[in-house]
Structure 1
Amino acid sequence: MFRNLGIADKGFHYEPIVRQFATALYVLGGQRAYKFLRLNIPSLLPSVQILQAAISAAENNLTEGKFHYEGACNYFNSIHVTRGFIAEDATAVIPKIT
């Protein structure tokens, strides 16, 4: 973070741990929380576009409305589990319905 303060607007470099934190914050906190932190603490986090590109390039990315049955089965088989519980998060849909 402190290395990025002296650099121009373009050309920031982020450590892998910062990218992992940014991804977790974006996924768990949502885009609004991520943008809020990014605006209030300059040069701390990568841009939303960079983060979205990294998430979509990952081999185990999640897509809204798409269930990866084979991936879940492979994971359960790798940890030797015969039963599992998978839930849906509909928080993004609720404001659109009400």
Structure 2
Amino acid sequence: MTDHLSSQTVPIARQRVQLIETAYSFKIANHDYYFEKDYTGTGHLKCDNKEFARVSNLFSVKISTVDTINIASTTEETASLSAVLFHTFYYYGA
């Protein structure tokens, strides 16, 4: 990932949390970020151990062939970041 303010590459570490679940962590501007999906399929984005965004699939809602996700966040920036992380790591399995 690239930090948009400093243009520096930010490494993302992957950790095994449960038997098959994984979580991801990275550091930007001396803040520790952590992204994990729980047993309900909801992704939680935390910064310095404080949750500020939540992302989940709405499997019952489909618009044409597009899946819909629900994002609860404190700011538009964290909503965007959590959506990208959720899709990259859990939805598409990259």
TM (norm. structure 2) is 0.28
Question: Comparing both chains, which one has the higher relative contact order based on Cα–Cα distances under 8 Å and sequence gaps of 6 or more?
Answer: 1
**Higher helix proportion, which one?**
1
Structure with higher strand content: 2
From the CA coordinates, give the structure whose radius of gyration is larger. 1
TM-score (norm 1): 0.27
